[in-house]
Amino acid sequence: MTLPFRLGRDGATLAVRVTPKAAQDRVLGLSDAAAGGVALKLAVHAPPRDGAANDALIRLLAKHFGLRQSDLSITTGAGGRHKLVHIAGDPAVLGNRLAQGLAPWLKHD
């Protein structure tokens, strides 16, 4: 299965699809990404105004994957639903942590 993240020298890049103004903040699973591939689908309660939804996204991702908020930054798509989030850190550690956090949605053959 295709994963919604890529590992690089200085961390990982995670593809996400965010729905703002949801009833609650939560991780919904995996979905097809706009440009092909897969994205992690999330919902945040915050509205898409003044960066509130982006801030909620960073908090939700940090909590879900057990990361520090300061290690996450939106690199592409800050004004849209489809985003790329850079996660700074050791790629080997991040690869394992991201795979564990995605385990409920990964199909095992």
Query: What is the number of other CB atoms lying within 10 angstroms of the CB of residue 67?
Result: 19
CA distance 57 to 55: 5
Structural domain for 24, as ranges: 5-105
47-103 confidence digits (pLDDT tens): 999 999 999 999 999 999 999 999 999 999 999 999 999 999 999 999 999 999 999
| Total domains in the fold of the chain | 1
What are residue 85's DSSP bridge partners? 14, 74
Q: CB count, 10 Å around CB of 6?
A: 14
Q: Look up the CATH number of the domain holding residue 30.
A: 3.30.1200.10
Q: What is the CA radius of gyration of the chain?
A: 13
Angle at 37 between CA 84 and CA 79, to 5 degrees: 30
